[in-house]
Each structure stands twice: as C-alpha cells, then as structure tokens.
Structure 1
Amino acid sequence: MTDPTIGRLRVNGATLHYEVRGKGPLLLLIPGGAGGAAAFDGVADDLAAAYTVATYDPRGMSRSTLDGPEAEQRVAEHADDALRLLDLLSPEEPARVFGMSSGAIAALGLLTARPERVERVVAHEPPLVEVLPDAAEHRALPERVREVFRTQGLMPAMAEFAAGLAKGGEAAVPKAAMELPPQAAARAERTMANLPYFVERIVPSFMLYAADLHRLEALVDRLVLAGGQDSHGELPYRSAAFLAQRLGTEFLHFPGGHTGLTTHPAEFGTALRKAFGD
C-alpha cells in the first residue's frame, strides 16, 4: 500500500486529519458510520491510478479532533468540512465525491449547498428515514439507540441499531471475532473507539436529516444513488432506492451489502469508477 501524504486542516470547531494519494482530478471519499480515512484502505491505491484521492476522518472521529468535545453534530457542518477540503485540494475545479452511509448524507448536504464545487456525487445507501413511505415507523430508532446506550451500554445499543436497520428488524447473529493483521486490527480498534460518539452525536442528527428534495431534483444530473446488491430490504438500501425513485433517477447496485466496500473492495472500486463515468 502506498504511503499517503498526510495533512491537518483547521475548520470551524475542529481540526481534520486527511490523506492524499495519486494524481489527476480530485476524488473525495467520505466514510460512514464510525469509520475514518482507513475505511478506504482497500480501494484508495487502485483509485489513485486515475484520481487524486483524498480521504479523511470526519470531525470527532479518530484523528480529527473537536474544539469542544461535547459539541452537537449537524449535517450542514460536516458538509462544510468536505467543502473546505475541496477548496484546499481542488480550488479551481469541481471534484468527484463519494459518500457511504452517514458519509453519503454529508455528501448530499454538500451537493445541495455548493453544487458548483461538485462534478458528481455518488451516494451509497444514505440512511435517510424521512424519505421512506413508512418513515413514522423508523423515526424513534435513533433516540431508542441512544437511550439503550445510556442505560445498558455500547454493545446492546449497537445490537438495537443493527436490528433497526436490518430487513424485518432482526440483525444477523455476529460472527466470532478472528485475529486480524496489525493494520486491520488498528483500524478496528479506532472504529470501536469512535462508536460512542457515533451513537450519541451522529446517528440522531444524520438519520433524521431532511434532505432538500426540490434542490436535489434540480441537481439530479450530478447525483448517482446506489445500494448494495445484497442489502435489499434493509433501511439504508430502501432509503437510497426510494430517494432515487422520488428524484426520477437511476439506482445503481454495488457489490456486497451495506459494507460492500470492506467485503468486496476490488469490485467496489471498479463499480465506483463506472458510476463516475470513467
């Protein structure tokens, strides 16, 4: 794996850790969940053959520190962080942007706020409850997860969250932990350390985010919505599919499920290049 160029960027209320590889037009990759820049380790080098690939830890995650550790998190602020990275790394030209899960929600916020800075956004399974026809059944999930976290702890909260996202409300039984290579183990450790912040601060504000659908309709030529071919029926997949239907645009299928980037990295990278038309 190629060592990236590492940088730090001051933004409003935080300092972002970012990494850059390759040459060519800028491709900004926005991680989801409790992941950071390392979530893209499996695809970054291959993508860097065609793009200047920028990855980063979202504010409050891993190496991106908050000025105020208890600060509430808003999609608009996370979208502005992505904009600041675009302005730094591609000040003259609009960029390609990929976001996954909660990162896809930040990418949609960026597109609606500053479309002139974006050539195309690929949004993979943004879990937007409000676009679902049965939204009322799911609005209580984020607060329920946070309450379970506060009263029972992290793992029960994550089980509640997984069940709420799963098809039919039943999460798969977790597989036994296996020994990981050092780099993957370090990545998993950072992800675990990020989970309390994710549950408390990201899940409630992002899942209930009301995307500007009229604005997205006007920008649909710059937007690609996608879902995992193995995640039919799950809440994030349904959200992305219903949003594509609402906007009257094509819905692409990527390899794997919600975490296809991790389980099928090579195939996922190929699908991503095709989604950008390259």
Structure 2
Amino acid sequence: MSQPTTAPSDTDVHTATLEVPGAVLTYDVRPGTGDDVPLFLFASPMPAAGLAALAAHVGDRTVITYDPRGSARSTRPDPTAPSTPDDHAGDLHRIIAAVTDGPVDVFASSGGAVNALALVTAHPEQVRTLVAHEPPLARMLPDRDAALAACTAVADAYQQDGFGAGMARFITLVMRRGPIGADVFDPAPDPAAFGLPTTDDGSRDDVLLGQNLRAGTAYQPDLAALRAAATRIVVAVGAESEGEFAARAGVALAELLGVPVVTVPSHHVGFSEGGGGAPAGDPPAFAAALRTVLAG
C-alpha cells in the first residue's frame, strides 16, 4: 500500500460553487498524486474545514470536500427551513457529477454518514466504497422510541429556549453511554456547565439543531436497497465511542446490513484537530486506518 504524500497547498485547491434546488453549495477539490478514484470526505453539518486535517494525510488521492447546505460557505434562501437526508443526498450526487464521470470512494461521518446512505440508495453507481462513520440513526437502536423522543426534546428545547438549551441537551444525549431512557434529561442540563450561553438571542437558524437534527436522526435507511447496491459498505466506530448513541446505531446498522464494523482511532470527531468546543482527535492515525479500510 502506498504511503501518504504531502498534501497540496491551499493554492492547489480548486474551489467552486454549484447551484442546486434550495441552496448554493461550495465545494473544494484537492488534486492527488495518484490515479485512484477521488475520495469524497464529508460530515454534516460540519463544513469542509473540519475535514482538512484528514484530507492532508491522503494526498495520493484527489480529495473532495464541501460545506453542507446552510453551513459556512453554502447558503440557502431560508436558513431556518429543515433539510432531509434526501435533500443532502441530492447535493452530494450533483457535486460528484460535477467533479467526475465515474464513481468515488466516500468517507462520511455522523449526519454525513446518514446522508451518504441516502446517496447510495438513490445513486449506488456513484459510490464504489462507503465508509459510514458513526451514523446517529435512532431507529436502528433497540431503545429507538426513547432515542427518538430524546432527539425531539433536543430540537424542541432549541426552538423554545434557544441555542444554549438545545445544545446542552444535544451534548448530554450524544455523550451518554448505554441505552437511552426517559430520564436522559432529568434533571435538565445546565448550558453554563458546558460553557454555552444561558440567554436566548432569538435566532433559530442553527444548521444542526434547527435544520438537520429531527430528519437525520429519524431517517429510516432502505436496508433492502443498500444490501442490493454494488457499493461496498463498511461501518466505522471510534475506539473511544463504545456505548455512545452514534456508535451503537452504527453497530446496529452493520448487523442489519450484514456488513463489517471496523474500529478506528479516537472518538466521534477523531479525524479532526478539534476546536470550537470539540476535542482534538488523531488525524494521522485516523487517516492510516481509513486508508487500510479503503484498500479492502
């Protein structure tokens, strides 16, 4: 297996925009030194900048990254309107078609992994291998009713009391290990304990809490279509994520699809350098593990 090469400089990155139904997307293409199919890296709602550290360690591949609709450079006429995994899948389909006539390999994390499953369902010919990292699919869990109710409670808290209240519940939920019970928010988490604002600024355009959370966590993958797809699907979970919502859902999904589960370094955002309240991961080790998985 070839080894990582030096990543292209910022001046080598080609940035373009693409108008799609309901949004204008911004995506980046980093040319690679090899001739393998492009590698599309994305999460949701994390923008392309969050994947930069991972992209830097796969320089032998042409790498595509993008900002999901409503995030960072990708704009929407109505920033408060919800987005569904099918909406995002349509965006991914159009970006791939704009970059290449052939298939790509995909590493997709969190909400991005949910959207990637929708992409493979609709356009399996565009994805050779999908590495789905910790997709937070509440319906995959044995405690699905409580998980769905908790996700609804997060979104409701955001709509009623603002960002701090919603995000405090979101962090509490995603960091919980083991089954989710009706007491997950009892007592209600204090935003100040997480360094979050305790007052409501009135805005309701947060991409995660306002646009993607409800539809993404409640998404029901078409298991039959995914099993029938020519796409090779692998589920990845972080070594430090055992028992957490997204990791548990990923393992359950893999069991239902009959596909492998691989353990990759670090935690839910282990491919990033951290920042913005997220802990630092281990991008070099994560990239090495990803390269091994993609090599089959």
TM-score scaled by length of structure 2: 0.82
Q: Secondary structure at the match of 1:140?
A: helix
Hey, what does 2:282 align to over in structure 1?
264
Q: 1:265 to 1:174 in 2, by over 3 A?
A: farther
* Deviation of the 1:117 alpha carbon: 1.1
- Structure 1 window deviating more from structure 2 (227-236 vs 158-167): it is 158-167
Hey, what does 1:68 align to over in structure 2?
78
- Matches of 1:46 and 1:264 in 2, distance apart? 11
Hey, what does 1:87 align to over in structure 2?
97
- Matches of 2:238 and 2:64 in 1, distance apart? 23
- Matches of 1:156 and 1:7 in 2, distance apart? 36
* Deviation of the 1:146 alpha carbon: 1.6
Equivalenced residues, count:
259
Q: CA contact under 8 A between 2:80 and 2:204: conserved in structure 1? A: no
Identical-residue share of aligned pairs (%): 34
Matched, 1:27 2:39: yes
- Matches of 2:216 and 2:111 in 1, distance apart? 6
Q: CA contact under 8 A between 1:220 and 1:249: conserved in structure 2? A: no
Gaps of 5+ in 2: 1-6, 179-183, 197-202, 273-280
- Matches of 2:51 and 2:295 in 1, distance apart? 20
Q: 1:1-278 alignment to 2 at 5 Å?
A: 2-3=9-10, 4-23=13-32, 24=35, 25-32=37-44, 34-47=45-58, 49-91=59-101, 93-165=102-174, 166-168=176-178, 169=184, 196-219=206-229, 222-262=232-272, 263-277=281-295
- Matches of 1:248 and 1:22 in 2, distance apart? 34
- Structure 1 window deviating more from structure 2 (16-25 vs 263-272): it is 16-25
Q: CA contact under 8 A between 2:128 and 2:230: conserved in structure 1? A: no
Q: CA contact under 8 A between 1:46 and 1:269: conserved in structure 2? A: yes
- Matches of 1:41 and 1:84 in 2, distance apart? 21
CA offsets, 1:168-218, max 9 Å, x none? 5589x97889xxxxxxxxxxxxxxx99823101100010000110111222
Q: 1:214 to 1:138 in 2, by over 3 A?
A: same
The higher radius of gyration belongs to: 2
Q: 1:225 to 1:251 in 2, by over 3 A?
A: same
CA offsets, 1:20-47, max 9 Å, x none? 1122421111123x41000111121221
Root mean square deviation, CA, Å: 2.3
- Matches of 1:118 and 1:146 in 2, distance apart? 32
Q: Which amino acid aligns with 2:161?
A: Q
- Matches of 1:201 and 1:155 in 2, distance apart? 16
Greater share of residues in helix: 1
Gaps of 5+ in 1: 178-192
TM-score scaled by length of structure 1: 0.87
Q: Secondary structure at the match of 2:68?
A: coil
Q: Secondary structure at the match of 1:35?
A: coil
- Structure 1 window deviating more from structure 2 (143-152 vs 235-244): it is 143-152
Q: 1:21 to 1:221 in 2, by over 3 A?
A: closer
Q: Which amino acid aligns with 1:207?
A: T
- Matches of 2:283 and 2:115 in 1, distance apart? 22
Q: 1:28 to 1:238 in 2, by over 3 A?
A: same
Q: Which amino acid aligns with 1:27?
A: L
